[in-house]
Amino acid sequence: MPRDFKTDPKPGTNRFRIQQLNQATDPKFAVFLRAPSGQSARFQALHETPESALDAARFHAAEAAGHGNTDFTYYVIEIKHRVGIEHGKLVDEPMA
């Protein structure tokens, strides 16, 4: 059962990113940030075109470098299919 929240999510939080996924009209591309350990990558942003995703990845990389980070990688990923449970319903379908 989905949780109900009394406040809107704050930009930059996981909750904000998940709502961005749910509200996107044509989500085909995502930007992920590799964890410094290299063992995982986490969702950063969702985009409808590869150009906007690439622009966002470059922006995030420039920001990271500007803050002195020396170990990061942003990935631009095309979303092909999704499998799971969304809003209490099973989902196993290609992205439109």
**25 CB burial (10 A radius; 0-12, 13-18, 19+):** exposed
Residue 50 belongs to a domain: yes
Quote the domain boundaries for residue 65. 27-94
pTM of this structure = 0.67
Instruction: Give the model confidence (pLDDT) of 46-63 as tens digits.
Output: 888 899 999 999 999 999
CB neighbour list of residue 46: distance below 8 Å, 6 or more residues apart: 17, 20, 21, 24, 27, 29, 30, 31
From CA 50, how far away is CA 79, in angstroms rounded? 11
Residue ranges of E strands in the chain: 29-34, 41-47, 74-78, 81-86, 89-94
CB neighbour list of residue 13: distance below 8 Å, 6 or more residues apart: none
Q: How many domains does the chain have?
A: 1
Confidence band for 1, pLDDT divided at 50, 70 and 90: very low
From CA 3, how far away is CA 25, in angstroms rounded? 23
Instruction: Give the model confidence (pLDDT) of 15-49 as tens digits.
Output: 666 666 666 667 789 898 887 878 888 877 788 88
Q: What is the pLDDT of residue 19?
A: 67
Residue 57 belongs to a domain: yes
Residue 4 belongs to a domain: no
